[in-house]
Chain A
Amino acid sequence: MRFAFSEDQLLIQQTLAEMLEKECSHEAVEAAAKSASGRVPGLWQQLVAMGIPAVALPEAQGGLGGDELDLVLLLQEAGRRALPEPLAETAAVAAPLLRELGGELAAEWLPRIAEGAVVVVGLASEPFVGFADGAELLILERGGELFALAPSAVKCEAQRSVDDARRIARVEWSASPAARIASGERAAALAAAAFERSALAAAAQLVGLGRYMVDLTVAYAKGREQFGQAIGAFQAVKHQIASAHLKLEFARAIVQHAAYTLAKGWDSRQLDVSTAKALAGDAAHLCGRAALQCHGAIGYTYEYHLHLWLKRAWALEKAFGDAPWHRRRAAALLLDGRAPSEAAPQAPARDPARLRGRRAP
């Protein structure tokens, strides 16, 4: 029993944090929000040069052979800097899907991801696809089957997000048999895994977004003076920030825990991911509210950059199941012994102590 990251994992996190502090400053994110691409020029290439999108690729395909646990700290950092790049979409979702799919498509695209190709996954449960416009390959789910399409075979209808530094689109496409890459139980398993990974990646970014908003607010409350003292000395301000930090710390631990159980394929992984997404969404929301309230009017301006973090959190809170959805799923797992979408239960409800599951299947 050891709940801690390895030195290697912490070193990559630190390296990424230092790079993003320079290259993904809030000015860079603000500029991205105003640009057509919504991205930071050259940043993806730098991430590729560092090997970040390849962390979870097999070693044979130019990766580090990592898993969800190796990615979770990096996704937290991405959230902390409101990174407007497809790290979650490509590295944490598309790459593992291709790895599990195997075959020619994986052999072709995994090395290309290591070299910087953007691949995205569009799940049937999600109305919009992040970074669809500009992706070099789209893996799309429809009718219980998975299809792989080139950008020329789809039409991306860009949607303006409340977060100006976020690029999402509705993808229109037709499902041709030639493009089909999986069907039946195999497609269902691949799509289900992609959903869990997407929800976990969103949760990890929410933890980072919340962290940034709390830290920014602490710095502001130390410097801003009213009634002859720093506003951070007032209990009404202190307690709001303390409550946000408190929720966030427990959410962080539970997100890292879900990364572990997902990586290990434990029976409890759906429940763990739902717990992670619900607590991270609620925590980031609270951090955003506390940050805005404690900043006062300056935080409410477009000029001050807090709004970009706030809005990214709003978007990710709702994507891949919001907190109420994940609580409903958890309730079904805990009380009925099955996920809500599954068929009527044959087996009796599972023992929640056992569901908390310490053993791999």
Chain B
Amino acid sequence: MDLTYSAAEEAFRAEARAWLEANVPKDLPPLDSAEGFPLHVAWEKQLFANRWAVVSWPKAYGGREASVIEWLIFEEEYYRAGGPQRATQNGIFLLAPTLFEFGTQEQQDRILPKLAAAEELWCQGWSEPGAGSDLASLSARAERVDGGFRLYGQKTWATRGSFSHKLFGLFRSEPGSQRHKGLSYLLVDLHQDGVTVRPIDKLDGGEGFAEIFFDGAFVPDADVLGGVGKGWEVAMATTGSERGLTLRSPGRFLATATRLIELCRSQPEAAGERLRDRVADAWMQAEAYRVFTLESVTRIVEGRAVGADSSLMKVHWSELDVALHETALELLGASAELAPGAPASADRGRWIEGYQFALAGPIYAGTNEIQRNIIAERILGLPRK
């Protein structure tokens, strides 16, 4: 056991910190708004131009070939500096790991640089009106035609779908197939005939979701990822990325816990013993996530499997995020309801805004109920039926 950072890692931290402190934009309007979106994309382009967008990637694609420990350090520094939620997150954290594992050289060379540079934004096409937690019941279909597939059906809850150029998702490519069989993982151009994107506003009013209708949109053979009919295996191989540390590294929760401590210090009269205990507990849960992640990362570095442990992480970080925000709102008392833009709002409504975002955590990336099933069945070995 060695929980110290090497001189090279400390130097990496110092370089990241200096650049982020000098460059992180302050007070951007929300990402999921017509006004805020282009500003967030501009920030992503600035990150990419300075090789901070995808630090762990190969240099040829704009990365720094940083180790996974250095990537964790970057994440800590990014959120410590107050960096905004990543507009490119679906591409860099969800699609890219799958592309690195299953993509052909041609696909990687063609897709990854534009994805990292925020020239092409990607959304996820998993859920359908009839297929949420029970994803394998999906029915959107891909019909075989010359040189590719034509798509029919509907996807929904595509995060930032109305701002995206492309979609990655699962489609039923074998007629009459059932459940996990006969699915293909397809990369779809949304800017073509046969695609209709309808925005759906989220709980907080932001234009964050979309439902997407397909009526004959075309996907060439070159945009099948991992082979026709292999979609389920390809998608599941990297669900750990979504549930675990790549999508939600400890850095963002550590930064939120630090803000919570600052809020509590600034409101000593509001913080009775019970609330102080809750602040301490929220910090402890964030710290536990940091430490658990160090253990998982060690296993990754040493080539040992993390497996279903990503389900433990997903439940932990999503419940932690809610607890951090609920504690902050309790400290704010009657001011907690003030939305961004209210003249009397402290912290520009960041806590109530963050709370609404945190409440999505136990639902997306596989609900926490589904995760508990996975923990019970795949880790503990309890019977499925």
By a beta-carbon cutoff of 8 Å, the part of chain A in contact with chain B is: 1-6, 69, 214, 218, 221-222, 229-230, 232-233, 235, 237-239, 241-243, 245-246, 249-251, 253-254, 256-257, 260-261, 275, 278-279, 324, 327-328, 330-331, 334-335, 349, 352-353, 356, 358-359
With a cutoff of 8 Å between Cβ atoms, the chain B residues found around residue A330 in the complex are 280, 283-284
Are the C-beta atoms of A238 and B373 separated by less than 8 Å?
A: yes
Contact of A327 among B258, B277, B292 (CB under 8 A): B277
With a cutoff of 8 Å between Cβ atoms, the chain A residues found around residue B385 in the complex are 229, 233
Contact of A328 among B1, B277, B373 (CB under 8 A): B277
Known: A218-B380, A250-B289, A278-B284. A328 touches B276 (CB 8 A): yes
In the complex, A250→B287 CA distance in Å?
10
B191 within 8 A of A: no
Residue from the set A230, A232, A359 with the largest chain B CB neighbour count within 10 Å: A232
Are the C-beta atoms of B295 and A4 separated by less than 8 Å?
A: yes
With a cutoff of 8 Å between Cβ atoms, the chain B residues found around residue A278 in the complex are 280-281, 284
Q: Which of B2-10, B113-121, B209-217, B219-227 contacts A (4 or more CB under 8 A)?
A: B2-10
With a cutoff of 8 Å between Cβ atoms, the chain A residues found around residue B301 in the complex are 2
A/B pair count, beta carbons within 8 Å: 154
Contact of B383 among A3, A69, A233, A334 (CB under 8 A): A233
With a cutoff of 8 Å between Cβ atoms, the chain A residues found around residue B265 in the complex are 335, 349
Are the C-beta atoms of B3 and A1 separated by less than 8 Å?
A: yes
Contact of A239 among B2, B287, B289, B376 (CB under 8 A): B376
Are the C-beta atoms of B380 and A4 separated by less than 8 Å?
A: no
Q: How many whole Å from A319's CB to the nearest CB in chain B?
A: 19
Known: A253-B295, A334-B280. A352 touches B312 (CB 8 A): no
Are the C-beta atoms of A334 and B291 separated by less than 8 Å?
A: no
Known: A1-B294, A235-B373, A334-B279. A254 touches B257 (CB 8 A): no
B273 within 8 A of A: yes
Known: A1-B2, A3-B298. A238 touches B376 (CB 8 A): yes
Instruction: Give 10 pairs: A residue, B residue, CB < 8 Å, sorted on A.
Output: A1-B297, A233-B382, A235-B373, A239-B373, A245-B375, A327-B284, A331-B279, A334-B280, A335-B265, A358-B3
Other 19 A-B pairs with CB < 8 A, given A245-B380, A331-B277, A353-B254 = A2-B301, A4-B299, A239-B369, A242-B380, A246-B316, A249-B292, A250-B312, A254-B284, A254-B288, A261-B3, A327-B277, A327-B280, A334-B280, A335-B261, A335-B271, A335-B276, A335-B279, A349-B265, A359-B4
Q: How many whole Å from A325's CB to the nearest CB in chain B?
A: 10
Are the C-beta atoms of A353 and B280 separated by less than 8 Å?
A: no
With a cutoff of 8 Å between Cβ atoms, the chain B residues found around residue A1 in the complex are 2-6, 9, 69, 294, 297-298
In the complex, A251→B295 CA distance in Å?
13
Q: How many whole Å from A289's CB to the nearest CB in chain B?
A: 16
B237 within 8 A of A: no
With a cutoff of 8 Å between Cβ atoms, the chain B residues found around residue A256 in the complex are 1
In the A-B complex, the 9 residue pairs with the closest CB atoms: A238-B376, A331-B280, A242-B375, A232-B382, A331-B276, A242-B372, A3-B294, A330-B280, A250-B288
Are the C-beta atoms of B298 and A2 separated by less than 8 Å?
A: yes
Q: How many whole Å from A222's CB to the nearest CB in chain B?
A: 6
Known: A328-B277, A334-B279. A353 touches B258 (CB 8 A): yes
Are the C-beta atoms of B288 and A253 separated by less than 8 Å?
A: yes
In the complex, A230→B301 CA distance in Å?
38
Are the C-beta atoms of B382 and A238 separated by less than 8 Å?
A: yes
Are the C-beta atoms of A241 and B288 separated by less than 8 Å?
A: no
Minimum CB distance partner of B268 in chain A: A335
Residue from the set B258, B294, B382 with the largest chain A CB neighbour count within 10 Å: B382
In the complex, A231→B273 CA distance in Å?
41
Are the C-beta atoms of B302 and A4 separated by less than 8 Å?
A: yes
Are the C-beta atoms of B283 and A238 separated by less than 8 Å?
A: no
B160 within 8 A of A: no
Contact of B376 among A4, A69, A241, A257 (CB under 8 A): A241
In chain B between 117 and 151, which residues have their CB closer than 8 angstroms to a CB of chain A? none
In the complex, A353→B287 CA distance in Å?
10
Interface string of B35-49 (1 = CB under 8 A from A): 000000000000000
B379 within 8 A of A: yes
With a cutoff of 8 Å between Cβ atoms, the chain A residues found around residue B2 in the complex are 1-2
In the complex, A324→B276 CA distance in Å?
11
With a cutoff of 8 Å between Cβ atoms, the chain B residues found around residue A349 in the complex are 265
With a cutoff of 8 Å between Cβ atoms, the chain B residues found around residue A238 in the complex are 372-373, 376-377, 382
Are the C-beta atoms of A352 and B258 separated by less than 8 Å?
A: yes
Are the C-beta atoms of A279 and B284 separated by less than 8 Å?
A: yes
With a cutoff of 8 Å between Cβ atoms, the chain B residues found around residue A335 in the complex are 261, 264-265, 271, 276, 279-280
Q: How many whole Å from A324's CB to the nearest CB in chain B?
A: 7
In the complex, A50→B373 CA distance in Å?
41
Minimum CB distance partner of B261 in chain A: A352
Q: How many whole Å from A187's CB to the nearest CB in chain B?
A: 29
B384 within 8 A of A: yes
With a cutoff of 8 Å between Cβ atoms, the chain A residues found around residue B298 in the complex are 1-4
With a cutoff of 8 Å between Cβ atoms, the chain B residues found around residue A324 in the complex are 277
Residue from the set B254, B291, B301, B312 with the largest chain A CB neighbour count within 10 Å: B291
With a cutoff of 8 Å between Cβ atoms, the chain B residues found around residue A279 in the complex are 284, 288
B315 within 8 A of A: yes
In the complex, A272→B382 CA distance in Å?
34
B176 within 8 A of A: no
Interface string of B244-283 (1 = CB under 8 A from A): 0000000000100110010011000001010011011101
Q: How many whole Å from B265's CB to the nearest CB in chain A?
A: 6
Residue from the set A2, A251, A349 with the largest chain B CB neighbour count within 10 Å: A2
Are the C-beta atoms of A246 and B294 separated by less than 8 Å?
A: no
In the complex, A221→B271 CA distance in Å?
43
Are the C-beta atoms of B287 and A356 separated by less than 8 Å?
A: yes
In the complex, A275→B4 CA distance in Å?
19
Are the C-beta atoms of A239 and B372 separated by less than 8 Å?
A: yes
With a cutoff of 8 Å between Cβ atoms, the chain B residues found around residue A4 in the complex are 1, 295, 298-299, 302
B80 within 8 A of A: yes
With a cutoff of 8 Å between Cβ atoms, the chain A residues found around residue B382 in the complex are 218, 221-222, 230, 232-233, 237-238, 241
In the complex, A245→B380 CA distance in Å?
9
In the complex, A233→B381 CA distance in Å?
10
In the complex, A149→B261 CA distance in Å?
45
In the complex, A235→B384 CA distance in Å?
9
Are the C-beta atoms of B1 and A5 separated by less than 8 Å?
A: yes
Q: How many whole Å from A220's CB to the nearest CB in chain B?
A: 11
With a cutoff of 8 Å between Cβ atoms, the chain A residues found around residue B4 in the complex are 1, 358-359
With a cutoff of 8 Å between Cβ atoms, the chain B residues found around residue A331 in the complex are 276-277, 279-280
Contact of A352 among B257, B297, B373, B377 (CB under 8 A): B257
Residue from the set A218, A246, A261, A356 with the largest chain B CB neighbour count within 10 Å: A246
Contact of B3 among A3, A222, A245, A353 (CB under 8 A): A3
